[in-house]
Amino acid sequence: MDAVERGESFIVTRDGRSMGQLIPLRRRFISREQFANGSQHAQTPNLEQFRSDSECARRLGQLCAAMLEYGRQSRRRTSDLMIASTATVLEVPLYTTNPDDYLGLEAWVDLRPVKRPKSSWDESLSHYVLHLSHDVCGGS
């Protein structure tokens, strides 16, 4: 350990096989004066935003627990849960074309299902898929 404190690195082996590397931490000492000088230029935090972010994080945990209790995996729905937690904290409705993404959260979220608008892109895509399936399946 004395050698590591002096800055030397070592390869750690077991039975002749390399298992890892022991590398000294590079610690840079900063005096109080340097810290105080650097802190003078730090941005003043927006406490209202911090409170809102903290509440969203807390609500995210609650919604994850609710989804697990409902029998669904929350890990696969992280983005949906982040959207839902923000909507509930800000007390705004959540408009979605995929209400099934929020099953189990009905008691928490003011969910407003909407139909996905049909776009010209959707029509051209379905036209392409129809032609592709016709070509692949050998239709006449």
* 112 φ/ψ angles, rounded to the nearest 5 degrees: -125, 95
Biggest distance spanned by C-alpha atoms of the chain: 83
Low-confidence ranges of the chain (pLDDT < 50): 131-140
User: Tokens representing 43?
Assistant: 């941005």
pLDDT confidence of residue 74: 67
User: Tokens representing 57?
Assistant: 């994080």
In 10-98, beta strands by DSSP E: 10-14, 17-22, 94-96
Kindly report, residue by residue over 38-60, the tens digit of the pLDDT. Answer: 777 777 767 677 677 888 899 99
pLDDT confidence of residue 136: 45
pLDDT confidence of residue 92: 92
- Helix (H, G, I), strand (E, B), or coil: what is residue 60? helix
Q: Up-side HSE of residue 85: CA atoms within 13 Å toward CB?
A: 23
pLDDT confidence of residue 120: 60
